[in-house]
Copies of this chain bind each other. A is one copy, B any other.
Amino acid sequence: MQHDYKNLTATYDVLGIGSAIVDILALVEDEFLIREALDKGGMCLIDAKRANELYESLGQCTECSGGSVANSLAAIASLGGKSAFIGRVHEDALGKIFTHDMRSVGVDYTTAPAKHGKPTARCMVCVTPDAQRTMATYIGASCELNTTDIDAQKIADSSIIYVEAYLWDLPEAKDAIRQAFAEAKKAGRKIAFTLSDSWCVDRHRADFLDFIAECVDVLFANEHEICALFETDDLELALEKITPLVDVTAVTLGERGSIVLQDQQRNDIPAQNISKLIDSTGAGDLFAAGFLYGITQGWSLYESAALGNSCAAEIIQQLGARPQRPLNKLVA
C-alpha cells in the first residue's frame, strides 16, 4: 500500500486540535458505575455541580493530564515526532499541569490560557477491575476554544491535522474547527479524525458522515464506533462501507489488534503481548499516535499500525493515558 503522509518540508508531523483536560483517575468496582448511573466504557459530559458530587463519591484519585487528541500528541512527541497542539485551559493549577505535561515532552503548545470564565476541564476516569475505563467530563474552559486560536501558519506547517469527534459536543468550538479545516485544505494538508466514542457517534452521525466524506483522509475508530457510524453490528459490513469514503481507515480491536484499510487492500495487525493489563485509558489515543508517527515518517501502513499496537500495549500497562516513560525506544 502506498501513501503520501510524509512531508519533508513541514515543521510539524502532526498538529492536533482537541479538548485540554486533566484526568482524575480512580479504581472503582462495577457497582460504583451502576450507583452513579455511568454507562460502562463510555464518556458523558457533566456540569460543574455533578462533577463535584462525583469527585466526592470517588475514593483515592490520581491526577494525570488527558484529552484524547492531546494524549496522542504527547505520545507522538515522546516517540520523537514533531507535534503541535491547539486547545484551551484556564489559567489555574490544572491548566498549569496540562501545559507542563504537553511542553515537557516537546509538544509545541501555545494556546493562551483563559483568564476569565470556566476552570480547566477535568475528566473523572473510573477504572473497573477488568481495566475498562468509564469517563465523565466537565468540559470547562475547553469549550472556549475560538477562531482566534486557530493559527493558520502552524496548520500550513503541519503534515497532518488531527481532530477528535468529542469536539462536536462543544458547539462554541465549531467555528474554530471549521476554520482549521479550511486552512488545512487551502495549504493542501491531510486531515485525520478519530470517532472518539460510540455514544458520541450516535449524537452526531449525519454530521460525521458528511465530514468524513468531504474532508477526512485518515479515520481512526474502534469496532464499536465504526459499527455505530453505520448503525450495524456487523464489523465487516461497516468496513466495507467506510472504505470508499476515506483514503485510510484504522480500526482497533483491543486484544485482537488492529485492521488498516486502503482501497481494496486490508492489513490485519496482531496485538502486542502484554504482561499485565492495568487500565485501558488511552489505548485508542496511543494507537493513533504510533500510527500517525509511522506514516509521517514514511513507514508502510502495516509498520505504522504495528507501532500503534506497541504504543497501545505500553499505555494499558500503566494507570493513565500519558506514557510515564519515553516511547522512543519503541521506534527501534
Q: Which residues of A contact B (CB under 8 A)?
A: 26-27, 55-56, 58-65, 74, 78, 92-94, 97, 100-101, 104-105, 275-276, 318-320, 322-326
Contacts and interface: CB of A to CB of B under 8 A. Distances in A.
Given A62-B322, A63-B64, A63-B97, 17 more contacts: A27-B325, A56-B100, A58-B104, A60-B74, A60-B101, A60-B105, A60-B323, A60-B324, A61-B100, A61-B101, A62-B62, A62-B63, A62-B64, A93-B94, A276-B276, A319-B319, A319-B324
29 contacts: A26-B324, A27-B324, A55-B100, A56-B104, A58-B100, A58-B104, A59-B104, A59-B326, A60-B65, A60-B74, A60-B101, A60-B104, A60-B105, A60-B322, A60-B323, A60-B324, A61-B97, A61-B101, A61-B104, A62-B62, A62-B64, A62-B320, A63-B63, A63-B64, A63-B97, A93-B94, A275-B276, A319-B319, A319-B324
A92 B95 CA distance: 13
A150 to B, nearest CB: 27
The 7 closest A-B pairs by CB, nearest first: A93-B93, A63-B63, A62-B64, A59-B104, A60-B322, A27-B324, A27-B325
Nearest to A320: B62
A104 B105 CA distance: 32
A94 B320 CA distance: 19
Contacts of A326: 59
Contacts of A64: 62-63
Nearest to A24: B97
Contacts of A74: 60
A104 B54 CA distance: 11
A326 B60 CA distance: 9
Contacts of A56: 100, 104
A220 to B, nearest CB: 22
Contacts of A275: 276
A100 B52 CA distance: 11
Contacts of A323: 60
A56 B100 CA distance: 7
Contacts of A318: 319
B320 A59 contact: no
Nearest to A28: B325
Contacts of A319: 62, 318-319, 324
Contacts of A65: 60
